[in-house]
Structure 1
Amino acid sequence: MVDQFLGSWTLTASDNFDEYMKAIGVSFATRQIGNMTKPNLVFSVDDAGVITLKSESTFKTSEIKFKLGEEFDETTTDGRSTKTTITLENGKLVQLQSWDGKKTTVAREIQDGKMCTKCVIDDVVAVRTYEKAA
Protein backbone atom coordinates (compact mmCIF):
# COMPACT_ATOMS: atom_id res chain seq x y z
CA MET A 1 0.00 0.00 0.00
CA VAL A 2 2.15 2.91 1.24
CA ASP A 3 5.12 0.75 2.25
CA GLN A 4 7.55 2.49 -0.13
CA PHE A 5 6.96 5.79 1.74
CA LEU A 6 7.49 4.45 5.27
CA GLY A 7 10.52 5.70 7.16
CA SER A 8 12.37 8.98 7.46
CA TRP A 9 13.17 11.28 4.51
CA THR A 10 15.46 14.33 4.39
CA LEU A 11 14.95 17.28 2.04
CA THR A 12 17.87 17.50 -0.42
CA ALA A 13 16.56 19.82 -3.16
CA SER A 14 13.81 22.38 -3.57
CA ASP A 15 12.82 24.09 -6.81
CA ASN A 16 10.36 27.03 -7.11
CA PHE A 17 9.09 26.56 -3.53
CA ASP A 18 9.04 30.32 -2.80
CA GLU A 19 6.72 30.93 -5.78
CA TYR A 20 4.46 28.08 -4.62
CA MET A 21 4.29 29.47 -1.06
CA LYS A 22 3.50 32.92 -2.50
CA ALA A 23 0.68 31.42 -4.62
CA ILE A 24 -0.96 29.71 -1.62
CA GLY A 25 -0.83 32.95 0.38
CA VAL A 26 2.12 32.45 2.75
CA SER A 27 3.45 35.69 4.24
CA PHE A 28 6.91 37.01 3.35
CA ALA A 29 8.37 36.29 6.81
CA THR A 30 7.02 32.74 6.87
CA ARG A 31 8.31 32.15 3.32
CA GLN A 32 11.80 33.22 4.40
CA ILE A 33 11.74 30.59 7.15
CA GLY A 34 10.18 28.03 4.80
CA ASN A 35 12.94 28.55 2.25
CA MET A 36 15.68 28.02 4.86
CA THR A 37 14.09 25.02 6.51
CA LYS A 38 15.11 21.52 5.47
CA PRO A 39 12.47 19.32 7.07
CA ASN A 40 12.59 15.60 7.67
CA LEU A 41 9.41 13.75 6.77
CA VAL A 42 8.59 10.62 8.75
CA PHE A 43 5.89 8.25 7.50
CA SER A 44 4.48 5.46 9.64
CA VAL A 45 1.31 3.34 9.68
CA ASP A 46 -0.42 1.58 12.56
CA ASP A 47 -2.30 -1.73 12.66
CA ALA A 48 -5.62 0.04 12.01
CA GLY A 49 -4.31 1.51 8.74
CA VAL A 50 -3.94 5.04 10.11
CA ILE A 51 -1.00 6.75 8.42
CA THR A 52 1.04 9.34 10.30
CA LEU A 53 3.07 11.96 8.44
CA LYS A 54 5.34 13.98 10.67
CA SER A 55 7.32 16.97 9.39
CA GLU A 56 10.25 17.77 11.67
CA SER A 57 12.51 20.82 11.45
CA THR A 58 14.42 23.15 13.74
CA PHE A 59 11.60 25.71 13.37
CA LYS A 60 8.48 23.61 13.68
CA THR A 61 7.25 20.04 13.93
CA SER A 62 3.81 19.14 12.67
CA GLU A 63 1.92 15.90 12.35
CA ILE A 64 -1.14 14.67 10.50
CA LYS A 65 -2.91 11.33 10.90
CA PHE A 66 -5.19 10.06 8.16
CA LYS A 67 -6.75 7.12 6.40
CA LEU A 68 -6.50 6.97 2.62
CA GLY A 69 -9.53 8.48 0.90
CA GLU A 70 -11.05 9.99 4.06
CA GLU A 71 -11.35 13.78 4.32
CA PHE A 72 -9.98 15.41 7.48
CA ASP A 73 -9.36 18.87 8.90
CA GLU A 74 -5.71 19.92 8.63
CA THR A 75 -3.90 22.93 10.03
CA THR A 76 -0.89 23.33 7.77
CA THR A 77 2.57 24.35 8.98
CA ASP A 78 1.91 27.83 7.53
CA GLY A 79 -1.35 28.13 9.50
CA ARG A 80 -4.01 27.44 6.84
CA SER A 81 -7.10 25.47 7.91
CA THR A 82 -7.82 23.05 5.09
CA LYS A 83 -10.11 20.18 4.23
CA THR A 84 -7.64 17.52 3.15
CA THR A 85 -7.97 14.15 1.45
CA ILE A 86 -5.02 11.88 0.71
CA THR A 87 -5.30 9.06 -1.82
CA LEU A 88 -2.97 6.53 -3.40
CA GLU A 89 -3.06 6.88 -7.20
CA ASN A 90 -0.75 4.82 -9.43
CA GLY A 91 1.85 4.57 -6.65
CA LYS A 92 1.64 8.29 -5.86
CA LEU A 93 0.45 9.63 -2.51
CA VAL A 94 -1.77 12.55 -3.58
CA GLN A 95 -2.77 15.15 -0.98
CA LEU A 96 -5.59 17.53 -1.97
CA GLN A 97 -6.04 20.59 0.26
CA SER A 98 -9.05 22.92 -0.08
CA TRP A 99 -9.50 26.24 1.77
CA ASP A 100 -11.13 29.62 1.10
CA GLY A 101 -12.14 28.59 -2.43
CA LYS A 102 -8.57 27.51 -3.29
CA LYS A 103 -7.16 24.05 -3.98
CA THR A 104 -3.64 22.68 -4.08
CA THR A 105 -2.24 19.21 -4.61
CA VAL A 106 0.92 17.73 -3.17
CA ALA A 107 1.85 14.51 -5.01
CA ARG A 108 4.60 12.33 -3.59
CA GLU A 109 6.18 9.46 -5.49
CA ILE A 110 9.29 7.35 -5.23
CA GLN A 111 11.66 7.67 -8.20
CA ASP A 112 15.11 6.06 -8.24
CA GLY A 113 14.99 5.61 -4.46
CA LYS A 114 14.17 9.28 -3.85
CA MET A 115 10.83 10.83 -2.90
CA CYS A 116 9.81 13.46 -5.43
CA THR A 117 7.18 15.85 -4.06
CA LYS A 118 5.32 17.98 -6.61
CA CYS A 119 3.33 20.91 -5.15
CA VAL A 120 0.81 22.47 -7.57
CA ILE A 121 -1.60 25.40 -7.33
CA ASP A 122 -3.04 26.84 -10.53
CA ASP A 123 -0.05 27.12 -12.92
CA VAL A 124 2.62 27.25 -10.18
CA VAL A 125 4.62 24.06 -9.66
CA ALA A 126 7.29 23.42 -7.04
CA VAL A 127 9.33 20.22 -6.80
CA ARG A 128 11.00 19.09 -3.60
CA THR A 129 13.26 16.04 -3.46
CA TYR A 130 13.86 13.91 -0.37
CA GLU A 131 16.34 11.11 0.21
CA LYS A 132 15.74 8.23 2.60
CA ALA A 133 17.59 8.75 5.90
CA ALA A 134 20.02 6.01 6.87
Structure 2
Amino acid sequence: MPSKLLGKWKLVKDENFEEYMIEIGVGMATRKVALITSSTSEITDEGNNQVRLNTQSTFKSANVLFPLGEEIDETTMDGRKCKTTVRWDGDDKILEIQKWDGGKREAKLEWIYEDEKMILRMESNGIVCKRIHERTT
Protein backbone atom coordinates (compact mmCIF):
# COMPACT_ATOMS: atom_id res chain seq x y z
CA MET A 1 0.00 0.00 0.00
CA PRO A 2 1.45 3.39 -0.97
CA SER A 3 2.18 5.95 1.73
CA LYS A 4 -0.39 8.63 2.49
CA LEU A 5 2.51 11.11 2.27
CA LEU A 6 2.63 10.76 -1.51
CA GLY A 7 0.92 13.63 -3.29
CA LYS A 8 0.83 17.41 -3.37
CA TRP A 9 0.69 19.56 -0.21
CA LYS A 10 0.13 23.30 0.35
CA LEU A 11 1.78 25.09 3.27
CA VAL A 12 -0.87 26.52 5.63
CA LYS A 13 0.99 27.31 8.87
CA ASP A 14 4.46 27.68 10.37
CA GLU A 15 5.57 27.25 13.97
CA ASN A 16 9.01 28.55 15.02
CA PHE A 17 10.22 28.83 11.41
CA GLU A 18 12.25 32.03 11.85
CA GLU A 19 14.07 30.67 14.91
CA TYR A 20 14.96 27.52 12.97
CA MET A 21 16.25 29.55 10.01
CA ILE A 22 18.42 31.64 12.37
CA GLU A 23 19.86 28.45 13.89
CA ILE A 24 20.88 26.99 10.52
CA GLY A 25 22.43 30.29 9.41
CA VAL A 26 19.90 31.78 6.98
CA GLY A 27 20.52 35.52 6.44
CA MET A 28 17.99 38.15 7.48
CA ALA A 29 16.81 39.15 3.99
CA THR A 30 16.17 35.54 2.97
CA ARG A 31 14.40 34.83 6.28
CA LYS A 32 12.04 37.80 5.89
CA VAL A 33 11.01 36.77 2.38
CA ALA A 34 10.70 33.08 3.34
CA LEU A 35 8.35 33.98 6.21
CA ILE A 36 5.81 35.61 3.88
CA THR A 37 6.11 33.15 0.98
CA SER A 38 3.75 30.21 0.61
CA SER A 39 4.82 26.98 -1.03
CA THR A 40 3.64 23.63 -2.28
CA SER A 41 5.50 20.36 -1.82
CA GLU A 42 4.99 17.22 -3.84
CA ILE A 43 6.27 13.84 -2.66
CA THR A 44 6.50 11.11 -5.27
CA ASP A 45 7.79 7.55 -5.37
CA GLU A 46 9.95 7.43 -8.49
CA GLY A 47 10.60 3.68 -8.34
CA ASN A 48 14.04 2.08 -8.15
CA ASN A 49 14.19 2.93 -4.42
CA GLN A 50 14.00 6.69 -5.05
CA VAL A 51 11.79 9.48 -3.68
CA ARG A 52 11.37 12.95 -5.18
CA LEU A 53 10.79 15.94 -2.88
CA ASN A 54 9.65 18.87 -5.03
CA THR A 55 9.00 22.16 -3.22
CA GLN A 56 7.91 25.16 -5.29
CA SER A 57 7.34 28.81 -4.32
CA THR A 58 7.57 32.20 -5.98
CA PHE A 59 10.82 32.86 -4.06
CA LYS A 60 12.90 29.66 -4.13
CA SER A 61 12.27 26.12 -5.29
CA ALA A 62 13.89 22.70 -5.01
CA ASN A 63 13.23 19.51 -6.94
CA VAL A 64 15.50 16.73 -5.68
CA LEU A 65 15.51 13.01 -6.45
CA PHE A 66 16.81 11.11 -3.42
CA PRO A 67 18.12 7.55 -3.69
CA LEU A 68 16.86 6.08 -0.41
CA GLY A 69 19.54 5.41 2.18
CA GLU A 70 22.35 6.94 0.09
CA GLU A 71 24.16 10.16 0.96
CA ILE A 72 24.06 12.74 -1.85
CA ASP A 73 25.36 16.28 -2.32
CA GLU A 74 22.51 18.79 -2.07
CA THR A 75 22.34 22.56 -2.22
CA THR A 76 19.38 23.50 -0.02
CA MET A 77 16.88 26.24 -0.81
CA ASP A 78 18.75 28.53 1.62
CA GLY A 79 22.07 27.84 -0.12
CA ARG A 80 23.74 25.39 2.28
CA LYS A 81 25.93 22.74 0.66
CA CYS A 82 24.88 19.56 2.45
CA LYS A 83 25.48 15.86 2.50
CA THR A 84 21.90 14.61 2.67
CA THR A 85 20.44 11.17 3.33
CA VAL A 86 16.74 10.31 3.00
CA ARG A 87 14.92 7.14 4.03
CA TRP A 88 11.44 5.92 4.88
CA ASP A 89 10.78 5.57 8.62
CA GLY A 90 7.64 3.42 8.62
CA ASP A 91 4.83 3.88 6.10
CA ASP A 92 3.98 7.51 6.72
CA LYS A 93 7.24 9.27 7.60
CA ILE A 94 10.30 10.26 5.60
CA LEU A 95 13.47 11.00 7.55
CA GLU A 96 15.97 13.42 5.99
CA ILE A 97 19.36 14.17 7.56
CA GLN A 98 21.37 17.15 6.30
CA LYS A 99 25.03 17.64 7.31
CA TRP A 100 27.11 20.68 6.43
CA ASP A 101 30.24 22.57 7.55
CA GLY A 102 32.26 19.38 7.13
CA GLY A 103 29.76 17.37 9.20
CA LYS A 104 29.96 19.75 12.19
CA ARG A 105 26.36 20.95 11.70
CA GLU A 106 23.28 18.77 11.25
CA ALA A 107 19.55 19.15 10.69
CA LYS A 108 16.90 16.46 10.92
CA LEU A 109 13.79 16.87 8.78
CA GLU A 110 10.80 14.58 9.21
CA TRP A 111 8.04 14.58 6.61
CA ILE A 112 5.12 13.12 8.62
CA TYR A 113 1.56 12.20 7.63
CA GLU A 114 -0.67 12.95 10.63
CA ASP A 115 -4.41 13.70 10.97
CA GLU A 116 -4.94 14.19 7.20
CA LYS A 117 -2.07 16.71 7.11
CA MET A 118 1.62 16.62 6.26
CA ILE A 119 3.85 18.01 8.97
CA LEU A 120 7.41 18.94 8.06
CA ARG A 121 9.24 18.87 11.40
CA MET A 122 12.71 20.40 11.22
CA GLU A 123 15.26 20.34 14.04
CA SER A 124 18.81 21.61 14.42
CA ASN A 125 20.75 22.01 17.67
CA GLY A 126 17.57 21.73 19.77
CA ILE A 127 15.57 24.31 17.78
CA VAL A 128 12.38 22.72 16.40
CA CYS A 129 10.11 24.09 13.67
CA LYS A 130 6.88 22.69 12.24
CA ARG A 131 5.51 23.52 8.81
CA ILE A 132 1.94 22.28 8.43
CA HIS A 133 0.52 21.39 5.02
CA GLU A 134 -2.89 20.38 3.67
CA ARG A 135 -3.36 18.07 0.71
CA THR A 136 -4.11 19.68 -2.65
CA THR A 137 -4.28 16.51 -4.81
* TM bracket (short chain): over 0.9
Task: Tell me how many residue pairs correspond in the alignment.
Answer: 134
Q: Distance in 1 between matches of 2:112 and 2:43?
A: 13
What root-mean-square deviation, in Å, do the aligned CA atoms of Structure 1 and Structure 2 show? 1.4
Residue 79 (str. 1) matches residue 108 (str. 2): no
Deviations 1:40-64 (A, max 9, x none): 0011122323211111011122111
2:112 to 90, 109, 132: 109
Specify every segment of 5 or more residues in structure 2 that has no aligned partner in the other structure, as ranges. Answer: none
Which 4+ runs in 1 deviate beyond 3 A? none
Q: Distance in 1 between matches of 2:127 and 2:2?
A: 27
Shift in CA distance, 106/37, structure 1 to aligned 2, threshold 3 Å: same
Q: Distance in 1 between matches of 2:48 and 2:41?
A: 21
Q: Distance in 2 between matches of 1:60 and 1:43?
A: 17
Q: Distance in 2 between matches of 1:48 and 1:118?
A: 26
State the shift of 1:2 in Å: 5.9
TM-score of the two chains, using structure 2 as the length reference? 0.92
Q: Secondary structure at the match of 1:4?
A: coil
Overall identity of the aligned pairs, in %: 35
State the shift of 1:67 in Å: 1.8
Deviations 1:59-82 (A, max 9, x none): 122111012111111100000000
Q: Distance in 1 between matches of 2:89 and 2:43?
A: 17
TM-score of the two chains, using structure 1 as the length reference? 0.94
Specify every segment of 5 or more residues in structure 1 that has no aligned partner in the other structure, as ranges. Answer: none
State the shift of 1:97 in Å: 0.2
Counterpart of 1:95?
96
State the shift of 1:3 in Å: 2.6
Alignment of structure 1 residues 1-134 onto 2, 5 Å: 3-90=3-90, 91-100=92-101, 101-134=104-137
Shift in CA distance, 2/123, structure 1 to aligned 2, threshold 3 Å: farther
